[in-house]
Structures are given as C-alpha cells and as structure tokens.
Amino acid sequence: DQQVKQNSPSLSVQEGRISILNCDYTNSMFDYFLWYKKYPAEGPTFLISISSIKDKNEDGRFTVFLNKSAKHLSLHIVPSQPGDSAVYFCAAPSAGNKLTFGGGTRVLVKP
C-alpha cells in the first residue's frame, strides 16, 4: 500500500512562474515530512521539511504547506528557475527514521 502518494508524475512551468507540487499521505501517524530534489545520476538531496505542529515552512523560494485534516502537503517554488528542473519526492519518516517516499514529480522549468 502506498502510504505517500504524488499523483502528478510531471509538471511543466514557465521560468518565473510558480511551481506547485502536491503530496498526499494515508498514515495518520506521520508527523514530519520532507521534500527531496533529485537530479539525474545523483542521489536525492534534502530541500525543506515541515513538522506536523506547523502548517507552513518557508525557506527562500521554497514553501511547504501542510493540511493535516486533508492529509495533504504541497511544495511551492516561487519564482521557478531552470535549475529547479529535477524530480521532487515527498517523504515521511517512521520507526527508525526510515523514509517512505512518494513516487516523485518531474518538474521542467522552461526558459
């Protein structure tokens, strides 16, 4: 069973516009969420996280929003830049801090 889902496999956006990536989860025990970014031939790199005690966390151009009642989080990238073109994964830690990942969303930022 997929406990973390990213229903949009790809997203194309114009440079300078907003990218919105969505993630849904089913396990109500999850209380922390992370977003990772992955370029081809590289491992995932940590981008931003949010604790369930917050509903928003911002870091520069990246903002993550959490809606606990809907079991939904989103990542906003404003403004989008060509270097943001990558695959983005949302993830949640469980016992042992092992991460459960969504399937990823491939973002393409067009110049």
Partner 1 sequence: DTGVSQDPRHKITKRGQNVTFRCDPISEHNRLYWYRQTLGQGPEFLTYFQNEAQLEKSRLLSDRFSAERPKGSFSTLEIQRTEQGDSAMYLCASSLGRRSSYEQYFGPGTRLTVT
- Residue ranges that bind partner 1, judged by CB under 8 A: 4, 6, 9, 32, 34, 36, 41-46, 49, 89, 91, 93, 95-104
Least separation in angstroms between CB 21 and partner 1: 13
Nearer to partner 1, 42 or 83 (CB): 42
β 62-67/19-25 pair status: unpaired
Distance CA 98, CA 79 (A): 32
Nearer to partner 1, 43 or 111 (CB): 43
Residue 52 tokens, joined: 């369930």
β 19-25/10-14 pair status: unpaired
Distance CA 71, CA 30 (A): 9
Least separation in angstroms between CB 77 and partner 1: 19
Nearer to partner 1, 21 or 89 (CB): 89
